[in-house]
Amino acid sequence: MIRFEHVTKSYPDGTKAVDDLTFEVAEGELVTLVGPSGCGKTTTMKMVNRLVEPTSGRILLDGEDISAIDPVQLRRRIGYVIQQVGLFPHKTVLDNTATVPHLLGRPRGKARARAAELLDLVGLDPSTYGDRYPDQLSGGQRQRVGVARALAADPPVLLMDEPFGAVDPVVREHLQNEFLRLQSSLRKTVLFVTHDIEEAVRLGDRIAVYGAGRIEQFDTPATVLGAPATPYAARFVGADRGLKRLSVTPVDPGDLEQPPIVRLDDPVARAAERLASEGAPWAVVLEADGSPYGWVAASALTGAVGGPAAGRGLDKAPRGTVREHARRMDAWLPPGAPLKDALSAMLQHDAGWVAVRDGERHLGVLTPAGLHGALRRSTAADAAKLPRGEVSLDTVPVAGA
Ligand X SMILES: Nc1ncnc2c1ncn2[C@@H]1O[C@H](COP(=O)(O)OP(=O)(O)OP(=O)(O)O)[C@@H](O)[C@H]1O
The residue among 156 and 211 lying less far from ligand X, judged by its C-beta, is: 211
Q: How far is the CB of 26 from ligand X (least distance, A)?
A: 23
The residue among 40 and 140 lying less far from ligand X, judged by its C-beta, is: 40
Q: How far is the CB of 210 from ligand X (least distance, A)?
A: 7
The residue among 15 and 136 lying less far from ligand X, judged by its C-beta, is: 15
| CA-atom Rg of the chain in angstroms | 27
Q: How far is the CB of 194 from ligand X (least distance, A)?
A: 8
The residue among 56 and 138 lying less far from ligand X, judged by its C-beta, is: 56
Q: What amino acid is encoded at 399 in this protein?
A: A
Q: What are phi and psi of 241, to 5 degrees?
A: -65, -25
Q: How far is the CB of 6 from ligand X (least distance, A)?
A: 18
Cα separation, 114 vs 6, whole angstroms: 39
Q: What are phi and psi of 72, to 5 degrees?
A: -65, -45
The residue among 173 and 196 lying less far from ligand X, judged by its C-beta, is: 196
Cα separation, 390 vs 393, whole angstroms: 10
In this structure, is the dihedral angle defined by the CA atoms of residues 281, 285, 290 and 293, taken in order, positive or negative?
A: negative
| Edge-to-edge strands, sheet with 56-61 | 16-25, 2-10, 56-61, 64-65
Q: How far is the CB of 183 from ligand X (least distance, A)?
A: 22
Cα separation, 172 vs 306, whole angstroms: 55
Q: How far is the CB of 48 from ligand X (least distance, A)?
A: 12
The residue among 213 and 364 lying less far from ligand X, judged by its C-beta, is: 213
Whole-angstrom CA distances from 280 to 230, 271, 296, 298 are: 46, 11, 11, 7
The residue among 41 and 112 lying less far from ligand X, judged by its C-beta, is: 41
Q: How far is the CB of 13 from ligand X (least distance, A)?
A: 5
Cα separation, 173 vs 245, whole angstroms: 17
Q: How far is the CB of 160 from ligand X (least distance, A)?
A: 13
Please give the residue ranges that form the binding site for ligand X (CB under 6 A).
Answer: 11, 13, 15, 17, 35, 37-43, 195
The residue among 42 and 249 lying less far from ligand X, judged by its C-beta, is: 42
Report whether 366 contacts 255 (CB < 8 A).
yes
Burial class (CB in 10 A: 0-12, 13-18, 19+), 33: buried
Q: How far is the CB of 7 from ligand X (least distance, A)?
A: 12
Q: How far is the CB of 178 from ligand X (least distance, A)?
A: 23
The residue among 19 and 154 lying less far from ligand X, judged by its C-beta, is: 19
The residue among 58 and 195 lying less far from ligand X, judged by its C-beta, is: 195
Cα separation, 24 vs 3, whole angstroms: 4
Report whether 21 contacts 214 (CB < 8 A).
yes
Q: What amino acid is encoded at 213 in this protein?
A: G
